[in-house]
Chains A and B, each alone.
Chain A
């Protein structure tokens, strides 16, 4: 290895938290002018590694070298000074301030003790031109799209003189054209000798842009590979911990399409439902005893669809027929009264009530439907809670444990339990297995299939295509806030789905 070319060398770094070994002797090596992908399932340790590298966490063991010198940061500000910049999924800019100001804030050029605005604007124009961007730098950042904002954020990092750029899920909110634009910029940065750490779960993109890939699993270092020498199936196998030779999708709790039982009657008939600025008009049919999946990239509108069906957002046009009768879902309360249920994607902010107990979290939706004056007795609450603790194998010492002490996966199960307790007829699950270990994932997938066999109608959203394929009877494919088409039966297969998403849109 050419030592002079190595920017970052992480050797056998470990980091643990109480009860959890987050990083176990992990290696990582980033060279100048290289795009290096960091891959792994949720909980693999990717974000921990980045936080250790940039000074948000302190490592317990191992060493980190930056340009050959030992390297130990205590804060993100220090990281920036050394030329190490991280760009997170949420754009970290100040929306109300101008582009130019965002690029230079904290280091504004001064003249005679005052900020030199002329220079800021002039320098900013030059800086963004390096990225082939041509925008008005005096406008507020909020007036530009997320993709442009990202490029502005990159410009800021470069101006602080970045040697290493860490991009954490940079393409989650971008459409294909914007991704292409971003990749052009990344290629330019490569030529300038900047090392780029690229974290993404979009396998296609990783294969398109990276030179090397490092795989982590459960905090352990699995291996470093050259991208063009690593077949996809092997990569997925490494990430899931399966033997590439024998790996097959049937390992998950799925069932083949032949096993699918006939669908029941139609529960919901959605016609041309639309929400301005959120979803283009779409049709959808939800049947009892059937699992309908929504597949698509992040930002394609899957959660927006769910929110419309649960009454969180109001539609601007279109109709919904429930059991043949026209219904307006004007609020979650209304939807719940029709026995709908919704497990949101963002469990921390929209699902879990941290300070309440497991028991209270589980019975809360049921209690809400019963109203103020029909309280569930303490005994009944415990009965219900314990029933689901057992059913879903929720790991908690008792039902009076505060929910905030549970791990992410168990918190997710509590939310599912909460809705199951209301005995719904339509269950919407938005990323229900995110952050859950493989074993528990399979449990939940089995549960979903079991529930649909009992007659429940289920809408299942997941970013993991294998999961969607394994659990669903039908799949609606979305892109850019539009439902493109539906696949069912034999047509359900990863290649087909990806093709639909990638297809050029003929009618707009």
Chain B
């Protein structure tokens, strides 16, 4: 696929530009910013956000949206913790069950959206609160995770030199990204999501399996949300029902900043990866800065998101005026 400087690629180029800009600024202003360790930390700290963002990319490209992701992360996290802590379930089994549950949760939402033609925002908003409620049902308080197998996973990692090493969670993130790129570019499922998001009516008339693809997209996203829940619980060593409130906005921000159009039909998984890294960069920048409180991160992300949405609207209007 050739890279063309046209309307399609401008968002992605803008994304890369922003990433490089922030990196440059940080490297110039702070020593140690430009180090392998800091770079790897981007992957570690944002692994759970990244995993969901990959799934969310497919959802948004197909023309939908999923507001339930944050709550699913919390629910899965606290469920896995409870299984291991109160019932002594082996981590691998607990995590596998959780992944299955996440997929089923997504599949149910996708089915409601497709078969009954309910708006995705409504169904996933309900999903958001259902999952949150289920999380509270499992436990009202945080549950710690302590298990030798879990410790083994957390301790597992690849040393990269320069005092940096790559833990399992970050590896999961990278693996999911690669899988996402493959799905998007080399499978019919991936290509169909573009078609559906671009023009669903045409996709139906062209004989594409629209229903199956839509449900699969939400199922896949549910699976990844659960995976993110697993990663998050490993990252924090606990399950907490109030975790990740508002995470959906961060994820959507990463996807949009990564160059995916909110209206659907266009976007790249690779772009989302950079979008996630940008989110991490901002947090890192603020940490290095030292004096600003952490909720400033949310404001900057909000502003960046706003700017990219404006850019997308401007581009779509300019394109339509042909």
Contacts and interface: CB of A to CB of B under 8 A. Distances in A.
Contact of B202 (A92, A101, A115, A138): A92
Nearest to A115: B186
Interface string B186-221: 111001101100110111111111000000000000
B263 to A, nearest CB: 11
Contacts of B198: 94-97
Given A101-B191, A117-B1, A88 B321 contact: no
Contacts of B187: 114-115
A96 B1 contact: no
Interface in A9-35: none
A47 interface: no
A91 B203 CA distance: 11
Contacts of B2: 138
A140 interface: yes
A93 B207 contact: no
Interface in A62-82: 76-77, 80
B266 interface: yes
A12 B19 CA distance: 67
A258 B194 CA distance: 60
A349 to B, nearest CB: 14
Bin the interface of chain B by size: 20 to 34
Given A96-B8, A138-B2, A76 B205 contact: yes
Contact of A92 (B1, B194, B205, B321): B205
A439 interface: no
A498 B10 CA distance: 46
A76 B199 contact: no
A378 interface: no
A88 B202 CA distance: 10
Contacts of B204: 76
B265 interface: yes
A276 B194 CA distance: 31
A88 B205 contact: yes
A106 B188 contact: yes
Interface string B165-198: 0000000000000000010011110011011001
B317 interface: no
Contacts of A92: 199, 201-202, 205-206
Nearest to A143: B6
B163 interface: no
A96 B194 contact: yes
B86 to A, nearest CB: 42
Of B185, B188, B206, B266, the most chain A CB neighbours within 10 A belong to B206
Interface string A77-109: 100100000101001111111000100011010
A231 interface: no
B205 A94 contact: no
A115 B207 contact: no
A93 B265 CA distance: 13
Given A96-B266, A97-B195, A97-B198, A105 B186 contact: no
Contacts of B322: 277
A94 B201 contact: no
B96 to A, nearest CB: 24
B93 to A, nearest CB: 30
A114 B204 CA distance: 23
B207 A106 contact: yes
A106 B206 contact: yes
A156 B205 CA distance: 12
Nearest to A102: B206
Contacts of B185: 115
B8 A140 contact: yes
Contacts of B1: 117, 138
Interface string A108-124: 10000111010000000
A246 B62 CA distance: 58
Interface in A150-178: 156
Contacts of B206: 92-94, 105-106, 156
Nearest to A85: B207
Nearest to A112: B186
A93 B8 contact: no
Interface string A375-398: 000000000000000000000000
A32 B185 CA distance: 40
B191 A77 contact: no
Contacts of A86: 205
Contacts of A106: 188, 192, 206-209
A115 B191 contact: yes
Contacts of B195: 94, 97, 105
B190 to A, nearest CB: 8
A88 B199 CA distance: 15
Contacts of A91: 202
Contact of B199 (A95, A117, A140): A95
Given A80-B207, A105-B208, A93 B192 contact: no
Of B191, B194, B207, B265, the most chain A CB neighbours within 10 A belong to B207
B207 A76 contact: yes
Contacts of A93: 202, 206
Contacts of A97: 191, 194-195, 198
Contact of A105 (B192, B265, B321): B192
30 contacts: A76-B204, A77-B207, A80-B207, A86-B205, A92-B201, A92-B202, A92-B205, A93-B202, A94-B194, A94-B195, A94-B198, A94-B199, A94-B202, A94-B206, A95-B198, A95-B199, A96-B198, A97-B191, A97-B198, A105-B188, A105-B208, A106-B188, A106-B206, A106-B209, A108-B188, A113-B186, A114-B182, A114-B187, A115-B187, A277-B321
Interface of A: 76-77, 80, 86, 88, 91-97, 101, 105-106, 108, 113-115, 117, 138, 140, 156, 277
Interface of B: 1-2, 8, 182, 185-188, 191-192, 194-195, 198-199, 201-209, 265-266, 321-322
Given A76-B207, A95-B199, A114-B187, 11 more contacts: A76-B205, A94-B199, A94-B206, A97-B198, A101-B191, A105-B191, A105-B208, A106-B192, A106-B208, A113-B186, A138-B2
Shortest 4 CB-CB distances between A and B: which pairs? A114-B186, A92-B202, A77-B207, A92-B205
